[in-house]
Amino acid sequence: MPTPSTTSDEYLPSMEGNCRSWKRWARWGAALLPSPMPTSPSQTIILTYHRIIPRTHLQGVYSSPHIIVTQESFRRQMDILRNHYHPLSLEDYVTARETRSPLPRNSVIITFDDGWEDNYRYALPVLRTAGLPATIFLTTGCIGTQHIFWPEEIHFLLHHLPYVRDPALRTLTAQAGIDANSWIEAEETRDGWSFIERLKSIDDARRTAFIEALRAHTHHPSFPQPQHAFLSWMQVKEMQQAGIHFGAHGVTHRLLTQCTEEEVRHECRQSRDTLTNETGIPPSFFAYPNGDFTPEIQRIVAETGYRGAVSTRPGKNNPQTDLYALQRINMSESRLLDPLGRFSPSLFRHMLS
> Angle CA(337)–CA(288)–CA(105) in degrees, nearest 5?
55
Residue 220: pLDDT over 90: no
Determine which helix (DSSP H) or strand (DSSP E) holds 113, and give its type and residue range: strand 107-114
What are 44's strand-pairing partners?
107, 317
> Domains along the chain?
8-146+226-352 (3.20.20.370), 150-222 (no CATH)
Question: How far from 217 is each of 106, 139, 210, CA to CA, in Å?
Answer: 52, 29, 10
**pLDDT at site 317:** 97
Could you give the CA distance from residue 96 to residue 173 in angstroms, rounded to a whole number? 50
Does residue 115 contact residue 137 with C-beta atoms inside 8 Å?
yes
What is the predicted pLDDT for the residue at 158? 83
Q: Phi and psi at residue 246, in whole multiples of 5°? A: -130, 140
Mean of the pLDDT values across residues 212-224? 84
Structure confidence by residue, pLDDT tens digits, 296-318: 999 999 999 999 999 999 999 99
Of residues 197 and 72, more confidence is placed in: 72
Closest CA to 340 of 19, 17, 9, 12: 19
